[in-house]
Amino acid sequence: MMVQKEETVLIQMQKRLAKMSRSHKTIALYILDHYDQAVFMTAAQLGGELGISESTVVRFAAALGYQGYPEFQKELEKCVKERLNSVQSGEGGQAGTDLPEIFRSVMKADTEQILNTWKQLDPNAFETAVNDILAAETVYIMGLRGDEPLAVFFHFYLHLIRPNVILLQSSNMSEIFEQMFRISKKDCFIGISFPRYSVRTLKAMEFANDRNARVIAITDDINSPMNLYSSCNLLAGSEGISIVNSLAAPMSLLNGLIVSMCRRKPKEVKKNLDLLSDVWNNYQVYLNDEIDVINEEDLESK
């Protein structure tokens, strides 16, 4: 079987991940998360890093359609070079060197990502996600590295809408499991991950799925490995014009979820905000830092 040359080795791994054996899946997940390191490893070194035999690594490359591990490694090297070239050239010179032009290019790319996400959004999946989040006894949210701002943003506002919202944060997988070991079929897990995908987030999603919790994946593509253990997939474009992933469309998607839930639970949201406002006033949380205060009359007029 020959590998389709128009598809990168990373895409090949993503597409076949669900059907891989446990050992091959371990290799694939490591490479997807650390391909810029794996490219310099021999089959023996990669196997040693993962506690897997060298022959298993070689068979993994063969299973993907390569004649041997060296050929697989060369394809991996192309992915790294592509990434480096995109950084150095601003994606083929699209962004130029003029600062206002660079800014316009970034804004244009972000706008396109939002429009594409809107056009391709699955309304049934979106509604399912809203229902699952509101119905869950406890909601767990996880997003690491570059995805952490998205997780923090969503956790902050979801906490104002409903109780029992847990943001999972740790660089240690055992600590993450400790934070979510009570998860059950009554709960909902939201995994947020965009390239480069997080193995830790995927492992947590697998654990949540094994416990029969509702699992929602917020990621960039139908072939994303984050969809392996999810019961509901929400996709948002994240491709930027350099090494920086665009968070514009993912943030817009999360904002849409928040607004939808606020409209489903207006009385609860108002009650929570009133309680929070009392706390701020009673304990002078903001002191004299506030610049402007919006009252209920202002909200009603809008």
Task: List, for residues 38-64, the tens digit of each pLDDT value.
Answer: 888 889 999 888 888 999 999 999 998
**Alpha-carbon torsion, ordered 217, 222, 228, 234, to 10 deg:** 20
Q: First vs last Cα of the chain: how many Å apart?
A: 61
Q: Which of 220, 11, 193, 197 is nearest to 113 (CA)?
A: 220
Does the residue 300 lie in any domain? no
In Å, what is the CA distance from 27 to each residue of 8, 46, 171? 16, 8, 20
Does the residue 276 lie in any domain? no
How large is the average pLDDT for residues 58-76? Answer: 89
> Looking at the structure, do residues 121 and 232 belong to the same domain, yes or no?
yes
> Looking at the structure, do residues 78 and 189 belong to the same domain, yes or no?
no
The gap from C-alpha 125 to its chain's centroid, in whole angstroms, comes to 16
**Domain span including residue 70:** 9-91
Phi-psi region of 287 (alpha: psi -120 to 50; beta: other; left: phi over 0): left
259 neighbors 235 (Cβ within 8 angstroms): no
> Looking at the structure, do residues 139 and 205 belong to the same domain, yes or no?
yes
214 forms bridges with which residues in the sheet? 188
> Looking at the structure, do residues 39 and 139 belong to the same domain, yes or no?
no
The residue whose two tokens read 């809107």 is 118
**51: CATH:** 1.10.10.10
Number of structural domains, the chain? 2
pLDDT in tens, 200-209: 899 999 999 9
- pLDDT above 70 covers a percentage of the chain that reads 83
Q: Which of 30-39, 222-231, 277-286 has the lowest mean pLDDT?
A: 277-286
DSSP per residue, 187-214:
-EEEEE--SSPPHHHHHHHHHHHHTT-E
> Looking at the structure, do residues 123 and 262 belong to the same domain, yes or no?
yes
pTM: 0.68
